[in-house]
Structure 1
Amino acid sequence: MSKLGTILDQIDSGTVLLPEFQRGYVWNRDQVRGLMRSLYLGYPVGALLVWETEADHGSVRGTSKAGGGIKQLLLDGQQRITSLYGVVRGKPPAFFEGDSAAFTGLRFNVDEETFEFYAPAKMRDDPTWVDVTELFVNGIEPHIGKLSADPATMPHFATYMGRLIRLRNILEREFHQEKITGADKRVEVVVDIFNRVNSGGTKLSKGDLALAKICADWPEARSTMRKHLSTWSTAGFQFNLDWLLRNVNAVATGRAQFEALEGVGSADFAQALSSSERYISGFLDVTSGRLGLDHDRVLMGRYAFPVISRFLHLNGGSFTDATQRDRMLFWYVHAALWGRFAGSTETILTQDYETVARSGIDGLIASLSRWRGGNLVIDGQDFEGFGRGSRFYPLLYLLTRVLGARDFGSGLELRAEMLGHLTSLQVHHIFPKALLYKHGYGRSEVNAVANFSFLTQQTNLAIGKRAPEDYFAETQQKHPGALESQWIPTDPQLWRLDRYREFLAARRELLAEAANGFLASLRDGTKLAAEPLRPVVVVAEEDDDIRARQIKALVEELTAAGCAEPALDSEIADPATGRVLGVAEAYWPDGLQPGLGNPVILELDANPDLPRMEELGYEVFTSVDALLGYVARRNEQAAGRSEDDDHVGPDGSTAEDAAPTHDPASATVPAQAAPGGTGADFDRAMRHLYVAARDEAGYNATLFLSMLAEHGSISTAKKLLASPVVSDGFVALWERGRLDLTVEALVTRPEFEWLFDPAELEVARTRLQQFEYETR
């Protein structure tokens, strides 16, 4: 047993450390708050698992004060002890890796005995809200004067002092420690123990284990790898440690399994890492200069890189000539397009390593062709994907860069050296989003890859929301050939909104023809490379799409709650076939918190293969509201505020989401309420929104219905307005051009304004005005 205060002192002295194989800190604020609440109330918070070993600098993290001798390495309890250290000391421990905001700014209310994080409007100048870190750092004395001098708190002074003493006394709390000792307890044994006891926490990958063993022999391994990752990040490409380690493994052993690195000494590993960095950087130069794939969003087929690294290593470190390089590019693009490395990565990599060792690039191309049933040809239907997460979005960008696509406004090729200071490109919706939504087209059609082109930012802004039948004719007159250079069908009849689907079909065929021609030239060596393409900047679109704004607000809300940053517009492919299962608006591959829970997918568009996704172990949410509700319930449980054991389904639904027993559709639909409408009037009007949305706009707002049944009309409206993210219902009604049927529109009606405070009305008006709906 050890007191908490003693454990924190041992961290300060460098005798309690973290093993290098541990991942970083992943807790969120609600988990920290729940831990402090449990300690304050005297609830159990679990034992610690410690590995006692004569650690060296390569096997531990946070060694700035560590000397020789036996150290205690935290195996189970890192998140709890790190949180407590951060709250008590006001800073993270030396071994910290993560977001310190999770434990910064915690306050304790001496009146209500609750913990919350600092909110200025609520807590400023209120002496009942005590800074927890200040209490531990400076003691109780500073609070004596504050609480005794305030007329509101003075009558309760003795009670409040007792509560502060009780809170500070958690430093005396005894933590039970299980210890692993013995010379036979090597890193791999301890990691196995860690994974067994930590079944509900952060699991270590095979890559983590391999790297832990390497760091024991070469302490600088992890930091050297991170430097390489940082260099690529600065150049605009984001990779992770596992990915780099796969490249090193390919070079050092020619094996896909990380276990193969067990036999690689530190000197050989360092050499393989140096070679891998050179191969990767060189191929990034090739993909940028030859294919125009010059930034992270369009970099295809990341797991083809280890195969290329292996080939270059066997080939003396470089391509023999331009023909060999282009044939590798042909294989690389097709491997990416057809999802060669979508799953079962180690199995596929093993096959390709064996192929490349036996028969080089020709063997890789032949093997990929067999895997594809002999078909390495792109069909127009292959461009039916939508969004920037589609694997054919990078191909559109590639064609734009390498085949001399021209700007509609200037007529110049979209090359950095030709555009001069106008080098910023932007994704352009050929048929404007607003017009398509207005005419009833769905989001997947609006954001079809075949509706994208790349233009200079200046031209994109100048075109604005004009229809193609307007600005295409102008472009054709001023810059003959510019439309054809962007694979635009030249039949003016296809430029009309009512012929939009035919336009997409025709353009897909043109894109496929161009792609096949260019890729064949790479394979056959018939198109010599010009000067390497210089990178251009692709700037983000303006957030005039309500879904884009909703997802942005969601990500901001979830990251503030301690969730990981998701990948946006991410394609989800079947690991067995490479088939696209869906394009996720947001994707958390390591769980909402890194290493905790299953991968999470937010997929809002129609027809994703949900059964297959769930079979593969994904937690799939099909609405923003469901995901936010799931996170809120999870965080409430983490904070100890919820004893609700209701089952949460993969889509975030609970028993509460079931439809109410009565049917609001049968409620009387009121006429326009008179000024000064009552709460009953508002209730009838809210139920009318459901009926009208269903009958007039074709939107069945089942979640809204259940909220009305559970919370009542006014509380439902207040909950929707309090959310930092607009609801799925607001988005659906915007897409249908019926913002008049939103709760936001209803609460701003003069007869109902009095039911809401000014801040709530401002939220409602702002949301509506953002999308050009005039409030009364």
Structure 2
Amino acid sequence: MSYISTSQRQPLRSDPNFETQFFIMADSVRSLLAKIKNREIVLPEFQREFTWKRSQSRDLVDSLLEGYPIGSLLLWKTGDVPALKNMPNFDPDGRVEVLLDGQQRLTALYMLTKDAVPPYYSPADISGGHDPRELHYNLQTQELRYYQKTEMQNNPRWVSVVDCLQDGDVDPQAITKEVAETEGVDQFELYGLLNDNYNALRGVQEIDLPIMHVEEDATLNHALTVFERVNKNGTPLSEADIALAHMCSKWPDTRRVFKEKLAEMEGQGFEFGLTFLIRGMNAVVNGRAEYHVLHGTPEQELIAGWNSLETLLEYLINFLRDRAYVYSTDDLNTTNVLIPMLGYLAQNKEAFQDERAREGLLYWMYAALYQRRYSGSVDTMLEKDLGALEDRQPIESLIAQLREDEGSPEVNPSHLDTRGVSHPLYNMMQILIRKKGGVDWSNGLKLSEPMGSSYSIEKHHIFPKSVLEKVGFDTGENLIDRKRVHEIANRVPLTKEGNQDIFDAPPSEYLPKVEEANPGNLERFMIPMDEKTWTLESYEEFLAQRRGLIARSINQFMEDLREDSRPLEDSAASKKKSPAALLRHGESETLEFKSTLRWHVYAERMDREIEHASLKTIAAFLNTGGGVLLIGVNDDGEPRGLEEDQFDSHDDMMLHLTNIVKERIGTSFMRFLNLSVEEVEGSEVLRVGCEPSVVPAYLDHQNEEHFYIRTGPSTSELPPSEIHDYIRNHFYGEAASGKASTS
């Protein structure tokens, strides 16, 4: 090592009483690499992985050949060794030099010179996309290129850089002789050129690199501060990288446990990165997005935060699969949308407070995804969203912030025009198909998580490209036509096998077969059911109709979620909700489910007592605060349909219910009821909406009058001794009189 200049002293603002001293020295590439091999130069755990592209390694060698400067290194000699990469039990014999800056350069040179991975990495850490050891060198032109068999296999001028830098592995004289014999060139002149270029490449090992040394008595915090300052002004480390370095300095296991968790989640289909986990830690520990807040977090808080984050991630992934129809990170155009959700969970005992909170956050998540909430300044948006969680109504604040910044989440058909599958609205369409229960068009499999490469989900063209090309629909230079061929409205998710089965057929041929195999399936995919649009001549009309169906489906789904996130405390709120939204709430004071109107499911016969059960609920709603009775839904909230009641038509069913209400409760009470048949999850249900009555409603049963009210999610009969007081207070009291006057 040679001495270059005098030392310089600079006070560190983090500790004004300490002045760090830099010794600017130089050492050869050969010497530095030998120190790495002998573990005299080590890499701290807080350093990031080898991330250089192969082109950067090639350019580094080229710069050394040309004599261009490649920047200085930063080393810190210390006996107080921090946690090291790939050396958990390293016991130094005296002081070692910790590599603070320059590891990308030295790692590339080590692999090219030693034909091995440096000790601070394992082979698994160096992926093929970064490993530079296939770099080749043209001994005649000094050109550097990665191996290409067709060009280099029979050209002896091209030699491996690794072989050149190994003693005795390349013989310029033998190469000269081979070229001279086949091409008839002057052997003496060629040998001089090849030998000079060979020695020039080998000579890069003797080049001295400038090294800045941090004063030996610097602490880890001082060295880390220097590392941060150097990287801010030089190598473009991100703020997340620097935050991770600070975390590793406090808790040495940070990077290791992060990488282990990332590998585990990747195996479950959820691919995150270190930056995501750093943001997650900040959201859980500090409720913030600004990285510098993490710098001073002590070890115990980091460990506690990680234990919480690990639990929350597992909970959130299960929630996404179970409730959001999101089965992998491929379904998310950005994982950043999960950070505020983690922040919310961390502030609420690691769980959603209730069903309203779940639906509210789902509404926000979907809207944030397809409105591309984090396509710009991610950290600025995350800071705003995490700040919104501090409000008294955090989810409402999140939604209000999103609307203020991104506008209304309502989707118009025009938003889908010419949009391709890379747009997040495609993912939203796919989520809706899953929710509606759509199955593969060929094999009938659910489009959730099919196993095996033959059943992987692909983005199928409804009108195949080849079919459109045959009729002159331009898929070449005409940009608009090309986009319309590939737009969302012409795409559906199908398994690979299903895609191949109908690869080249026009939709007019195969869509009728799809519908016949699974009636209703096309509607679940939001396919226009007018068969005239399935012809090639009507392609533009098909697109227009399907855009409308997709947009309406998304808006209805989002509207249901939004209604779900509001309280179901009064009949007015429940009356506006769709059956799908109501089912997710479960039975309550204002909501009840009945499997049938008159059919006894277990006895398998008509039964007037079954009718009586529905009438009791209606009377109770009339006498309390109103509500909704859904007939055709079992106690678990699963739609069963209306077929079991064996009416000739839905009109006959509603007429029958109207007649028994008039007969047993009273004709005058029909003005408080609204009957309709609606579809939910592929089944039809009878919805009976009940407004609260302004007068008491008695139910006649076996020639006796009974008085029912709602008490929580059940119907109760009041004894005669309590009926008078209830009627006086509920119907004729001061509060009730005000209610009656507005009805």
| TM-score between the two structures when normalised by the length of structure 2 | 0.63
What do the CA deviations read for 1:675-695 (whole angstroms, capped 9, x no partner)? xxxxxxxxxxxxxxxxxxxxx
Offset, 1:489: 1.5
Is 2:541 aligned against 1:507?
Answer: no
Matched, 1:305 2:338: yes
Q: Please report how far the alpha carbon of residue 251 of structure 1 lies from its aligned counterpart in structure 2 after TM superposition.
A: 0.8
Match of 1:358 among 381, 391, 409: 391
Letter of the 2:213 counterpart:
K
1:103 corresponds to 2:128:
no
Displacement of 1:63 in angstroms is 4.2
Q: 1:95 to 1:194 in 2, by over 3 A?
A: farther
Q: Which SS does the other structure have where 2:118 is aligned?
A: coil
Give yes or no for the alignment of 1:133 onto 2:157: no
Judged with a 3 Å threshold, the aligned counterparts in structure 2 of structure 1 residues 134 and 419 are, in CA distance, closer, same or farther, namely: closer
| CA deviations over 1:443-477 (Å, ceiling 9, x no partner) | 21111111122334443322222222232344445
The structure with the greater share of residues assigned to strand is 2
CA distance in 1, matches of 2:350, 2:27: 55
The match for 2:78 among 40, 54, 59 is 54
Aligned-partner Cα distance in 2 for 1:172–1:420: 53
> Who is 1:445 aligned against?
484
Query: In the alignment, what sits opposite 1:178?
Result: 212
Counterpart for residue 373 of structure 2: 340
* Deviation for aligned residue 1:54: 2.1
> Which whole-Å CA distance do the structure 1 matches of 2:433 and 2:326 have between them?
10
Q: Which runs of 5+ in 1 are unaligned?
A: 532-776
530 and 296 in structure 1: CA distance in 2 versus 1, 3 angstrom threshold: farther
Compare relative contact order (CA 8 Å, sep 6+) and give the higher one, 1 or 2: 1
Match of 1:189 among 225, 239, 242: 225
CA drift of 1:279 comes to: 1.2
Please say if residues 266 and 272 of structure 2, whose CA atoms lie closer than 8 Å, have aligned partners that are also in contact.
yes
Contact in 2 for aligned 1:280/1:305 (Cα 8 Å): no
**Structure 2 residue aligned with 1:594:** none
Q: Determine the structure 2 residue equivalent to 1:13.
A: 38
- Any residues of structure 2 matched to 1:605-620 within 5 Å, and which? none
What does 1:276-675 align with in structure 2 at a 5 Å threshold?
276-364=309-397, 366-368=399-401, 370-371=403-404, 375-384=408-417, 386-409=419-442, 412=444, 414=446, 424-437=456-469, 438-440=472-474, 442-477=481-516, 479-525=518-564, 526-528=581-583
Does the C-alpha gap of structure 1 residues 527 and 66 become closer, same or farther in structure 2, counting only changes over 3 Å? farther
Which amino acid letter does the alignment assign opposite residue 52 of structure 1? W
Aligned CA distance change for structure 1 residues 435 and 113 (closer, same or farther; 3 Å): closer
CA distance in 1, matches of 2:150, 2:455: 45
| Aligned equivalent of 2:618 | none
Count of residue pairs the alignment pairs up: 526
Structure 2 partner of 1:586? none
- 2:279 is paired with a residue whose SS is helix
TM superposition shift of 1:38: 4.8
SS of 1:176's equivalent in the other structure is strand
Q: Report the identity percentage.
A: 26
Letter in 1 for 2:218: A
Specify the alignment match of 2:306 in structure 1.
Answer: 273
- The structural deviation recorded for 1:253 is 0.9
- What is the distance in 2 between the residues matched to 1:174 and 1:369? 55
After superposition, give the CA deviation of every residue in 1:57-76 in whole Å (9 maximum; x if it has no partner).
Answer: 54554647661654434455
Unaligned runs of 5+ residues in structure 2 are: 1-25, 475-479, 565-580, 587-743
Structure-2 separation of matches of 1:397 and 1:530: 24
Q: Structure 2 matches for 1:112-151, cutoff 5 A? A: 112-124=141-153, 128-139=157-168
Q: 1:397 to 1:155 in 2, by over 3 A?
A: same
Separation in 1, partners of 2:453, 2:62: 57
CA RMSD in angstroms comes to 3.6
Tell me the CA shift for residue 132 of structure 1.
3.8
| Pair 1:45 & 2:64 matched | no
Q: What letter matches 2:412 in structure 1?
A: D
Q: How far apart are 1:250 and its partner, in Å? A: 0.9
* Deviation, structure 1 residue 272: 0.8
TM-score, normalising length: structure 1: 0.61
Checking the alignment, whether the CA contact within 8 Å between 1:414 and 1:455 is kept in structure 2 is no
- Per-residue Cα deviation, 1:28-61 (whole angstroms, up to 9, x for no partner): 44544454455446x2434523232427554554
CA contact (8 A) 1:493 1:499 kept: yes
3-state SS of paired residue (1:51)? strand
Kindly provide the CA deviation profile for residues 243-276 of structure 1, in whole angstroms up to 9, marking residues without a partner as x.
1111111110111211111332112111211211
Measured in 1, the distance between the counterparts of 2:379 and 2:280 equals 12
Task: Assess if the C-alpha contact under 8 Å between 1:301 and 1:332 holds in 2.
Answer: no
